[in-house]
Structures are given as structure tokens and as C-alpha cells.
Amino acid sequence: MPHAISVRATEEPRYVIQRAKHESSCFLVGDDYLVYLDCLKEGAGRSRCAIHAYALMPDAVHLLASPESEDGLAMMMRCVGGHYIEYAKYIHQRNDPVWGKWSISGLNGGARDLLTCYRRIELQPVTAGLAASAGEYPWSSYRWHADGSEDPVVRDHRAYLKLGANDAERRAAYRASFCEPSERLSGNRHVTVPQRNLPSDFPIGVFAGAKA
């Protein structure tokens, strides 16, 4: 059963972490990541939440999102979590709980703090030792922000849009803001993460389009 979430301020970015139950894996194969992203796009649209940045890890999801209403973020997380559980039960015959605790943090600073949160999220795979650089990891929003790779999930915050006068300037400024020393890597590089080379139109409407 999803945890209750209380968010009072609207249209303010929130850093959300959705962890797997008992530190298990919430994503087992490449299709799982695609299904979650489709569920996230669907849930964000229904609840009127803007997803600014994300990183899908094998055992957790990191999101930066702005809800347009007081209950928007709670609605989104219930929708996404519930639909993904339906998928996991149907495809993987998972009867154990997929999700554990959720945590939500507000951002106290301005644009600089917000963009720091962008980078913190997109560097999670590097910190965990899953990739040598943010650009190598296929399941985050980094490639959209830095290279312009298509990502229908992301709706960027004005702080990102102010990085430049056009897309090329913004992406160049964003790439320049990253510093990824080798010391960030931990000892978890034995974990294999599927690459994002699966069909972008993976058919999961039966799950993401289910009744909330």
C-alpha cells in the first residue's frame, strides 16, 4: 500500500526518492525501466506535476517534480506506484511489495539550488558506481538536458531555461556545470544496467492507462 504524502506548497519543486522494499530491485530488465517511465509520464500528466529531472536506479527512483496543486504529488506517486506494481505482478509474478519508504525534500534556495538538485539526481548512477559519467547512464534525464536526446517525461523548470538563449547554449552550459571525478565511483560496478535501446513505444497501455 502506498505511503501517505503531504505536500502543501504548490508549484514548488520537490526532491522525491521512492525506494524499493527491503533494498531489493524494483527494476529487473530493460522493459521495466521503460514501463516505469511511461507510468511516470501518465501519472504526471493526470496529476498536473512537472518532472524536471529523474534517475531510475535498480533499487530506487529519484525525481525532481513541481505539483500544480496541493495533492498533485501524492496523486502522481499513487498512480505511478500502483500501475507499476500491476505490471510487475503481471509480467514478473511479483507478489512481494515493490516499494518501500518514500521521502520528499523541499528546496530552500533559488535557481542555483534547483540546478544543483538536477545534477545531484543525474549523478546518482555515478555515485553508485553504475556508470563512469552521467552521460553513460541510459535511465536518467541527463541526456535530454546535456545533449537534447528525446525525453517525453521532462518539463524543464525556468531555472534550466535561463541557462542560455537557445537549446544549444543551455545544453552547453549544463554540460559545463558537471564535474565527475573518478572518486565518485563506488564498488558496485558489478551491477548490470540494461541499455536504453528498446522500442520507445513499448505497449503498456493496459498498465499506465488503468484506472487510478
Q: Distance (Å, rounded) from C-alpha 81 to C-alpha 66? A: 18
40-75 pLDDT, tens per residue? 999 999 999 999 999 999 999 999 999 998 889 989
184-197 pLDDT, tens per residue? 433 333 334 444 44
Q: Distance (Å, rounded) from C-alpha 65 to C-alpha 62? A: 10
Q: Which domains does the chain have, with CATH numbers?
A: 14-183 (3.30.70.1290)
The grid coordinates of residue 84 equal: 507499476
Sequence-distant (6+) residues with CB within 8 A of 59 are 19, 20, 23, 24, 25, 26
